[in-house]
Structure 1
Amino acid sequence: MLDALIQQSVCLTQHYTGSPVCNPSRAALLTGRYSHRTGSLDTLEWWGLERLALREEWLLPLGGLAVPGDLDHEAAKEDKEREARSDVHEPSRPSRFVSFAPLRDFVFQPAALDHYAATALFLACVRRLRPDFAPTADDARHIARICRLLEGMPLGIELAAPWAGKLPLGEIADELAAGLGLLATTLRDVPPRHRSMRAAFDRSWALLSVPERDILRQLSVFRGGFTREAAEAVAGATMADLSNLTDRSRLRVEPSGRYAVHELIRQYCGERLGAEHEAEAGETAEQVHDRHAAHYAGFLRVLEPQINWRASINSEVGPETGNLDAAWRWVIEQGRYELVQAMVMGLYHIAVAEGRYQTTLRLFDAAVQRLRAQRGRGEGGAGDAPTDLLLALLLFCQGHMCIDLGLLRRAEACTEESLAVLDGIAPGRLREEQTLYTKGLVALLRSWQGEFAEALRLRGELLSWLRTTEVSVWPHVPQVGTLFVQANECASLGFLTWHLGQYDVAQGWLRESLAIREQLGEERWRAYGLRTLAGVLRTIGELEDAERLTRKGLALSEAHQDRIGIGWSHSALAATLMSAGRPGEAQSHFVESLAVAQDSGHHALLILSLNGLGALALRRGNLDEAGQLYEESRASFERLGIAGTLRYAEAVIGLGEVALARGDWSRARARFREALAARACRAWEKMDAVAGMAQVFAGEGDTSQAAELLALVAHHPFTAHATRERVEALLAELEAELPAEVFAVATARGRARELDEAVECLAA
């Protein structure tokens, strides 16, 4: 059998290394799995467009050479789906539940390329032309992406690799994502059918029946695979049609039951759709795209009201993100605003659950730019309710995502524009609803900017309005009414009163929010309320209840596959475990939350994770590591131009504590002053900074002033339980050092002192 293959100029490669067994100059269409036990090839794999019949034997189409990501099924699946999407610039990120940071770091190291058959073959092909080629870390990342785009197809790799001498590797990857034009060679010793991917596909295309071609052309509009129902709705394909195309290796069935088309085949069929579909089928390619877009708009329309209620939503939506992105681009291009309206909230909720911020911002920006241009041309005009309401909604969604990314200036601009657009619309139910959302966004911005009292006022007004209005709001379900949004406002009021040091009041608001969600049976955002309530309990020292609630919230977020919620829960649980004196467990949870933050770009989650890891390093006595982590946290605020906003004080207080541990009183004083001057310094952070200043005074020998400030902190209701315990221990040490009368006078002065006056004095 091998002799027959060799005679047909087929290249065999050992699957575990990708090194050639015979005819290395030919494009590889088969690989054999090498057996160390027998020293022979015991399995052959075929990547042709139809099953290989040889001497009346059939070889199953098992797929391409191993590519980076194949070591983890979920990571490989996500990469494959992501690369099949039309937006090729979205950065790689790990799956929802497992941190793939070790895998990511391994794959993008140059030495790792030799561990995968596909990337090893790519390197071998490049080195035939450039023997001294030594890939950098960036090169390794691009090579891995190229091989994933080609799905390990050896012929594709053989045709793509020679371009490495002419184009940057990143450009090669982008070209491959865009089409087949790059995959060709002029070498004379290559059989004509292997000189380009088009030539290889042309030969196979000619063997298809007319109905098979018709279906494949239409299936090319899908991105990242499709379900049987979607294939029927868009391409009119029956189960028998799909089974036939699967048997002939034009399609493959994933373990989930979804159908997939190799990306190169999909691109080829897409070219055929544009070139010949109208002549062959009597309808335009645009009509096929219209059906695809309408199907996925309908898909989101049905799922949207269930997003926060049904746990399986994200698992249903996740595989369809490529199709949803493609459908969105199509309806924007065609000006189908009724379909845009049907998709907005669904895509927004997916973005904030999955952390798909950058991609979704780009998608929404395309719509915003088009709607702005339309208004500028006077098409519909300012005050045209449907399109202006849509513009206001898109700006609201963009603003909220920008806050999550720490882009507060852009969020402010989105908010202002949204309110300005709404002002030009005649009063009505839809305008009132959108105004409610946008004012809530204003309150969220004020929270980030440290204007807690103003945010509290706005939230209170919104809650009062919701409790008295009959206007329908999202999710527009009669039995829910305004209760879902009321629960959001109660939770926000709890968050704000916590930050203001009103810990009992905060618990009341948060428990009310949780009661409403339990009444509604809504669990995804219930996890947020549980985490926030746990934060309040952690502040006042009720650690057992805090841990219990946080673990419950983590379980809910995992059940809903809420990736960002999972990250928040890991961070909250880590903080509780750290307070409980369990640093090893806390470390692992902070690492999990950091992975989510880095891969999604979620700024607040990044800060919480870095600060938490910094605190753990400080407790271990690793001052260099602690300083680096806190400095990285602080620098992220400065890079975004948002120094002084929410959670900034925590980072600089950490830097102050590192300076204290080093005995650098001057630097410590500067950092604690910086924290006290931060406009978003929270109640307990003020107490932490004052306690830090007290230690500076003690270090410099002013023990009386230190005792006064420590007494203020120990006495004040804002002080966190952990800080109070630490301060009481420091006071006990000072009491042993100072004369009794001096200590008594100093502590009495501290207990009587007003916090605002002390903060103003210390920050000066």
Structure 2
Amino acid sequence: MDDKHTLFAGRFFLQELISQSNTAEVYRAVDQQTGLTVAIKRLVQTLPHPSLQQQFGQEVRILQQLDHPHIVKLIDAGKTADGQYLVLPYYDGGSLASLLAREGSFSIERVLKIGIALADALRVIHEQHITHGDLKPGNIILSEMGDPILADFGAAHLDQGKRFLPRGTVLGTYEYLSPEACNRDLVDSRTDIWSLGVMLYEMLTGKLPFSHPKVSHLLIAIMMEPPPDIQQLRPDLGDRFADLIYRMLAKDPNQRIPTAELVVAELTAIWQTNGFALESDMGVSSFADMMTWEMVGPQHNLPTNPMLFVGRQRELEEIHRLLLDPGYRLVTIHGSGGIGKTRLAMQVAQHYLEETEEDVFVVDLAAVDSPDLLVTAVAETIHFHFFGRDEPEEQLLNYLQGKRMLLVLDNFEHLITQAGFLSRILLKTFDVQILVTSQERLNVREEWVFPLEGLPVIDPLVTSNEQKPPAVELFIETGRRARRDYAPSEEELNDIREICTLVEGVPLAIELAAGWVNRLTPAAILTRLREGFEFLATDLPHLPARHRSTRSVFEYAWELLNPEEKQTVRRLSVFRGRFSLDASRRITGTSIPTLYKLIDKALLRRSPVSGQFSMQAMVRQFAAQKLSLYETEQIMIRTRHVEYYLRGIYSLRADLKGERQADALQDIEREISNIRVAWQWAALQGDPQLLDLGTDALFSFYQLRGRQREGAQSFAQAVQGLKEKTRAQTGIALCRLLARQGVCNRFIGRLEEARSMLQESLNLARTLGDLREMAFSLYQLGAAMPNEPGIMAYWEESLAVAEALDDQTLIAEVLNWLAFGLFREGRIDEAVETLERSLVVRRALSDHHGLANALTNLGVVQIHLGNYGKAKDLLQEGLLTYQQIGDIHGVAAASNNLSHTALNMEDYKAAQRWGKQALDYFRRVGDKKAEGEALGNLATVALQQEDYELARTLCLQCIELYMGLGLPTSSYYKDLGRVALAQNEWGEAYLVFRKALQEEPSTAVTLDILTGIAAIWMQEGKLTDAVALFTFVQQHPVSEQIVRDRATEKLQLLDSRMPSAEFAAAQSDGKEKSLELWLTYVL
């Protein structure tokens, strides 16, 4: 029927047929009611299949729930005698397909802009659990401004794998089909990511990655062949963009970048890296990486797309049962390398998370070379940051108290000497379970060993011919990574069984063997393996049979690699843990396609989410042995590795002290294993230039993450490496390293060593004439001996040099210490002015961590002065800043100070609220000392609210806590004395106050206690002594304002009761006595 000039549905005047498919037609039409030009999509009348009508109705429902600037909007929908129809906006920009036909390919900027818009549209679609299913240029229409609009949801489905089309119908267009769609597997949102990857490839090159005139050949290519090297077709394309497309075109959906949100983030980062300004009208949602303070649900770091897991159901259930039993808190999966311990542990952890909803963290120990770093590795993984001077292990154990968590410690065999640490975790906690994978037993009392053998090659539980034994199934599934349609014949299955038997069911060996099914038949693989086994049995008879099997498979796989692949594998062994594409390219010199070939051959792994690569521990060991045969190459690659990582952290120096501080810390944390190896190699070589590159950034990282103990060790290694060089060779590097080593030692309480190192550094800086290092060493040396007479001169000289250099960061640091000295000397106004100067500098630098500390310090001083409104504003800003940088300990400290401020303002509800928040956060991070301070604050709140029993209970809790920690308890005996004072228990109060003074508390606490004793004297009728003591406290420069106010109030009362002359004489007496005389008199 000719529909031209036809009135449709009594309202729309059909003008032109725009497009047509097997199932639907789209017309340009005019809405007679509104006069607007619209698009009408209607079902083809000759295809009345019920499932198509159902799918069309679903398209209506889908469009009704979607709202995005790059998704077509539904205007109306209906049904006539001719069938169902949709009314959509009409865009006259044509389709992306027609634009590609005219122009061939686009600029990188244009492709990125289109890609970001479409990926963000997919993000919204996938959030609604919708898969588009037919993403292609023909379904992207363009607005008048050229903006892409995603249309045609005719193939979309709501749930994973759900189809409404008749059996045998292909979902989507052949050239854009994903391998799983070609193979008619169930599809999910990752099929859209594949299709978008194809479109990005096509827009950049003008060619499809897979094409063939015959559909059968095309589908085979999609399922089996790698895409042509995109950088050869588009030489100006950067590595990151090329790699993203390869990640989107991973044939195994479990290896594909998993979400559209991640694609948006990557494309946006590439856009900005290329220097393009993100336009406000691109329609992309904001993905601000904001910290969530009240975490919802269990926390974990399990992989989004876990490793291929086959069989092991009995083992999985047994280990899971053990971990759920409180009697089995430490379970070791014990077995040889490559036996599958890690993948079993990951599966157990996933089940544990789903059943218990407790936190689950996997600590990868393969890259932890030193036993001393075990505690740090656990802390890194569970996002715990060290603070204060306590031993890292003690801090971590305190943090773990009260936590409900499963810790998975993977690859523990080289850290066996630290197994006692696991026992101490179990001793200190009640609800932390530990799962270990190791080639060696831990041999600790609490350990339950679960031995792991190879996968069964003949499985008695398999009864169906279609079912395969686990070992055979793993071989087939591994083969499907490279060939999505891989389906061995019965004869080939027999060869596969022989291969699996030969390698004793070892999963790593099976995967390495199966990595070649796209080039060799199972029979050929079997022949090569048998030859390798015979050679190894003769050449390496001392190796256990299982080790020989894995070694033989690796040698077989090695011989099949081409020269570039061999070179890449051995060079990649220089890495520890995870590494980036950029690192692998720059250090090894390999190509992106080569890396993907190694993934297909099971020699390399990659996280679909982060994009980082890694090597299985045994593969890395084999590869390292190959590299050791090429001495010149090994030195060259290690040197490249050192330069890459140390230059990398050198480039972050400014970020660590500015706006990008949090991002820079995360960048270093992500690469810390390789940074450590690079630093150790540079220290071993005694290379001053390379060490100097990393010194500043590594020092900032250790300081901001509270890892001064590791810093002291790292800088000691470097200093030792340079000590053997002459001064002319080391230059300023040794001076800088000594200073940072000294600071780390000061922080952990090794003051004598710190002073010696800082003094040596200062002497070197003066000799070399390096003013910046001289200023740094001066103020740090002052910080290392703050109670020494004349120390202010160090800070004053340091400030003068820093100002001459106009080094704003250094100025801010020195001002903070100078204010500390002024405050200690009672020069409060000068201290406030100095802190305010420091605050101004911190704001200008955008140094969030320094800003938060400056706000807190100034807020505390304002509390001391009684300026509670100012203190509140400063502390609240400080708390917000700590939140922004993710410093939970800082948030806790700010909350505690706000509680103290509210208490002084007599806002007891606020004081209690802030105090409880501080207590909660201090307990979360395991800071027992600060927990006592928060309890003390809450005790004071209870006292002011006349809840004396609660106040007494909290004070006694504080005293018990501090006695257990071996810390002074004077502050809490002081509070306990005030509780007794409030209840008119004068004798009890006096005894408690005296006990507090005997511990020689700080001056501020001592003065507060003395007001309590003066109040007792006042009640006992010793008015003259009371006036003298109150006057002494009132006029002492270190007295807090609230203490002064308390003394003033009592003096006014005594003045009204005593003769003027007697009162004046007592005041005069009080002013003349020193603190030492008063303490002698009281005690």
Q: Same fold (TM over 0.5)?
A: yes
* Alpha-carbon distance in 2 for matches of 1:541, 1:315: 39
Cα distance, 1:674 vs structure 2: 4.0
* Alpha-carbon distance in 1 for matches of 2:350, 2:432: 7
Cα distance, 1:733 vs structure 2: 7.4
Q: Which residue of 1 aligns with 2:718?
A: 367
Cα distance, 1:389 vs structure 2: 4.0
* Alpha-carbon distance in 2 for matches of 1:347, 1:522: 17
Q: Which residue of 1 aligns with 2:836?
A: 511
Out of 104, 107, 110, which is 2:400 matched to?
Answer: 104
Query: Does residue 65 of the first structure (1) align with residue 348 of the second (2)?
Result: yes
Bigger mean CA deviation after superposition, 526-535 or 189-198:
189-198
Q: Which residue of 2 aligns with 1:344?
A: 695
* Alpha-carbon distance in 2 for matches of 1:368, 1:250: 38
Aligned residues: 633
Out of 581, 588, 591, which is 1:228 matched to?
Answer: 581
Bigger relative contact order (CA 8 A; separation at least 6) = 1
* Alpha-carbon distance in 1 for matches of 2:364, 2:310: 33
Question: How do 1:177-256 and structure 2 match up within 5 A?
Answer: 192-194=504-506, 199-200=549-550, 203=553, 206-207=556-557, 209-210=560-561, 211-212=564-565, 214-247=567-600, 250-254=603-607
Bigger mean CA deviation after superposition, 510-519 or 741-750:
741-750
Cα distance, 1:322 vs structure 2: 1.6
* Alpha-carbon distance in 2 for matches of 1:691, 1:741: 22
Q: Which residue of 2 aligns with 1:11?
A: 312
* Alpha-carbon distance in 1 for matches of 2:897, 2:556: 60
Judge conservation of contact 1:443–1:454 (CA < 8 Å) in 2. no
Cα distance, 1:298 vs structure 2: 0.7
Q: Which residue of 2 aligns with 1:616?
A: 938
CA deviation map 1:705-753 (0-9, x unaligned): 23431233235554322223444555577779x6666984576346644
Q: Which residue of 1 aligns with 2:183?
A: none
Bigger mean CA deviation after superposition, 738-747 or 712-721:
738-747
Q: Which residue of 2 aligns with 1:273?
A: 623
Q: Which residue of 2 aligns with 1:665?
A: 990
* Alpha-carbon distance in 2 for matches of 1:68, 1:587: 35
Q: Which residue of 2 aligns with 1:441?
A: 780
Q: Which residue of 1 aligns with 2:368?
A: 85
Question: How do 1:564-583 and structure 2 match up within 5 A?
Answer: 569-580=894-905, 581=908, 582-583=911-912
* Alpha-carbon distance in 1 for matches of 2:449, 2:318: 24
Query: Does residue 488 of the first structure (1) align with residue 813 of the second (2)?
Result: yes
- Give the direction of change, closer, same or farther, for the CA distance of 1:715–1:145 in structure 2 (3 Å limit): same
Question: How do 1:35-184 and structure 2 match up within 5 A?
Answer: 63-66=346-349, 80=363, 84-90=367-373, 91=375, 92-93=378-379, 94-95=382-383, 104-105=400-401, 138=426, 147=435, 150=437, 160=440, 163-164=441-442, 166=443
Q: Which residue of 2 aligns with 1:454?
A: 790
* Alpha-carbon distance in 2 for matches of 1:172, 1:28: 7
Out of 713, 724, 741, which is 1:398 matched to?
Answer: 741
* Alpha-carbon distance in 2 for matches of 1:68, 1:358: 37
Query: Does residue 532 of the first structure (1) align with residue 875 of the second (2)?
Result: no
Query: Does residue 714 of the first structure (1) align with residue 1034 of the second (2)?
Result: yes
* Alpha-carbon distance in 1 for matches of 2:659, 2:773: 25
Bigger mean CA deviation after superposition, 580-589 or 315-324:
580-589
- Percent identity, aligned pairs only, is 17
- Give the direction of change, closer, same or farther, for the CA distance of 1:417–1:622 in structure 2 (3 Å limit): same
Judge conservation of contact 2:990–2:1013 (CA < 8 Å) in 1. no
Judge conservation of contact 1:96–1:354 (CA < 8 Å) in 2. no
* Alpha-carbon distance in 2 for matches of 1:316, 1:610: 35
Q: Which residue of 2 aligns with 1:687?
A: 1007
* Alpha-carbon distance in 2 for matches of 1:97, 1:421: 29
Q: Which residue of 1 aligns with 2:760?
A: 420
Query: Does residue 308 of the first structure (1) align with residue 657 of the second (2)?
Result: yes
SS in structure 1 at match of 2:767: coil
Question: How do 1:19-38 and structure 2 match up within 5 A?
Answer: 19=320
Bigger mean CA deviation after superposition, 502-511 or 583-592:
583-592
Cα distance, 1:458 vs structure 2: 2.5
Cα distance, 1:10 vs structure 2: 4.1
* Alpha-carbon distance in 2 for matches of 1:202, 1:106: 48
SS in structure 2 at match of 1:517: helix
Judge conservation of contact 1:419–1:438 (CA < 8 Å) in 2. yes
- Give the direction of change, closer, same or farther, for the CA distance of 1:353–1:507 in structure 2 (3 Å limit): same
SS in structure 2 at match of 1:80: strand
Q: Which residue of 2 aligns with 1:54?
A: none
SS in structure 2 at match of 1:226: coil
CA deviation map 1:356-396 (0-9, x unaligned): 12222222222234444x2xxxx52xxx1553743333332
Judge conservation of contact 1:446–1:454 (CA < 8 Å) in 2. no
Cα distance, 1:539 vs structure 2: 1.5
Q: Which residue of 2 aligns with 1:34?
A: none
Runs (5+) with no aligned partner, structure 2: 1-308, 323-332, 387-394, 413-421, 459-500, 507-544, 943-949, 981-987
* Alpha-carbon distance in 2 for matches of 1:228, 1:75: 30
Judge conservation of contact 1:530–1:553 (CA < 8 Å) in 2. yes
- Give the direction of change, closer, same or farther, for the CA distance of 1:597–1:275 in structure 2 (3 Å limit): same
Judge conservation of contact 1:355–1:563 (CA < 8 Å) in 2. no
* Alpha-carbon distance in 1 for matches of 2:719, 2:1013: 49
SS in structure 2 at match of 1:147: strand
Out of 587, 609, 615, which is 2:916 matched to?
Answer: 587
Which amino acid in the other structure matches residue 656 of structure 1? K
CA deviation map 1:416-467 (0-9, x unaligned): 244236536773332x4323222211211233xx34x633332223223333
CA deviation map 1:744-763 (0-9, x unaligned): 45763466445557556558
Question: How do 1:590-601 and structure 2 match up within 5 A?
Answer: 590-593=919-922, 595-596=924-925, 598=927
Cα distance, 1:295 vs structure 2: 0.9
Cα distance, 1:403 vs structure 2: 3.1
Which amino acid in the other structure matches residue 970 of structure 2? V
- Cα RMSD for the two superposed structures: 4.9
Judge conservation of contact 1:13–1:19 (CA < 8 Å) in 2. no
Judge conservation of contact 2:866–2:1040 (CA < 8 Å) in 1. yes
* Alpha-carbon distance in 2 for matches of 1:567, 1:197: 52
* Alpha-carbon distance in 2 for matches of 1:297, 1:411: 29
Out of 680, 686, 692, which is 1:335 matched to?
Answer: 686
SS in structure 2 at match of 1:89: helix
SS in structure 1 at match of 2:349: coil
Query: Does residue 291 of the first structure (1) align with residue 640 of the second (2)?
Result: yes
SS in structure 2 at match of 1:364: helix
